[in-house]
A and B are shown apart, each in its own frame.
Chain A
Amino acid sequence: MIVEFFRPGNSLLHRLDPRPKLLFLVVVLIAFFVPSTTWVLLLFTAAIVAVVAFFLGPAQLLPPLKSLWPILLLIFLLTPPFHFGGQPIIRILGATLVTSEGLDTTLVMLLRFIGITFGFFAVVRTVALDDMVLSLRWFGLPYAACLVMTITLRTIPSLGAAWHNVMDAHRLRSGLVESRRRRIVETYLPVLTSVLIEAVKGIPVLAMALESRGFGRRNPRTSYAELKRGRALAADMLVLAAASAALLWPAFIRW
Chain B
Amino acid sequence: MPGDRLLEGLSLTVPRGGRTFLFGRADAGKSTLARIVAGLVPRFTGGALSGRISLDGRDIRSSPPYELMQSMGLVAQDSEEQLLTTRCDTEVAFALESLGLPRAEMRERVGASLEKVGLADFADRNPATLSGGEKKRLLVACLHAIRPGLWVLDEALGELDFEWKTRVLDIIAETGGTALLMESRWSGLAALRGTSYFLLDEGRKRAAAKDSQEPAFLAALTNAGIRQGEPLEPRRPQRKGFLRMEGLGFRFDASTGFTLDIESLELQFGETCALVGRNGSGKSTLGRLLCGLLRPQTGTIGIRGEQGYRKLRPDELCAKVGYLFQNPDHQIYLPSVREELSLGLHRQRAERREIEPRVQEAARIFGLPDLAAPPALLSYGARRRLQAATYFLLPRDLLILDEIDSGLSYREVESLINALASRVPGIVLITHDMVLARAACDRILVMEEGRITGDARRGRFESVGAGGQAETT
A residues contacting B by CB (< 8 A) are 3, 8, 128-130, 150-151, 153-154, 157-158, 161-162, 165-166, 168-178, 190-191, 193-194, 197-198, 201-202, 204-217, 219-226
Find B84's partner among A8, A193, A209 (CB 8 Å cutoff): A209
A221, B98: Cβ atoms closer than 8 Å:
yes
State A225–B87 Cα separation when bound (angstroms): 11
Find A197's partner among B67, B100, B376, B390 (CB 8 Å cutoff): B376
Asked if A128 meets B86 with Cβ closer than 8 Å, knowing A172-B322, A208-B35, A208-B40, the reply is: yes
State A197–B331 Cα separation when bound (angstroms): 12
In order of increasing CB-CB distance, the 8 nearest A-B pairs are A214-B98, A224-B93, A177-B315, A175-B319, A211-B65, A169-B330, A194-B333, A213-B95
Q: Is B422 an interface residue when CB atoms closer than 8 A count as contact?
A: no
Interfacial chain B residues near A202, Cβ < 8 Å: 81
Q: Which residue of A lies closest to B105 (CB)?
A: A222
B residues contacting A by CB (< 8 A) are 35, 38, 40, 43-45, 64-67, 69, 73-74, 80-87, 89-90, 93-103, 106-107, 110, 124, 126, 128, 142, 291-293, 314-315, 318-319, 321-323, 325, 327, 329-334, 343-344, 347, 376, 390-391, 394
CB distance from A157 to the nearest CB of B (A): 7
Asked if A198 meets B38 with Cβ closer than 8 Å, knowing A172-B323, A222-B100, the reply is: no
A-B pairs with CB below 8 Å: how many?
163
State A132–B89 Cα separation when bound (angstroms): 16
State A15–B103 Cα separation when bound (angstroms): 21
Asked if A222 meets B128 with Cβ closer than 8 Å, knowing A150-B86, A193-B333, A212-B65, the reply is: no
Interfacial chain A residues near B40, Cβ < 8 Å: 208, 211-212
A8, B69: Cβ atoms closer than 8 Å:
no
Q: Which residue of B lies closest to A214 (CB)?
A: B98
Interfacial chain B residues near A191, Cβ < 8 Å: 333
Find B318's partner among A153, A171, A198, A221 (CB 8 Å cutoff): A171
Interfacial chain A residues near B343, Cβ < 8 Å: 173
CB distance from A178 to the nearest CB of B (A): 6
Among B38, B45, B80, B390, find the residue whose CB has the most chain A CB atoms closer than 10 A: B80
A212, B325: Cβ atoms closer than 8 Å:
no
Q: Which residue of A lies closest to B106 (CB)?
A: A224
Interfacial chain B residues near A215, Cβ < 8 Å: 66, 98
Interfacial chain B residues near A198, Cβ < 8 Å: 329-330
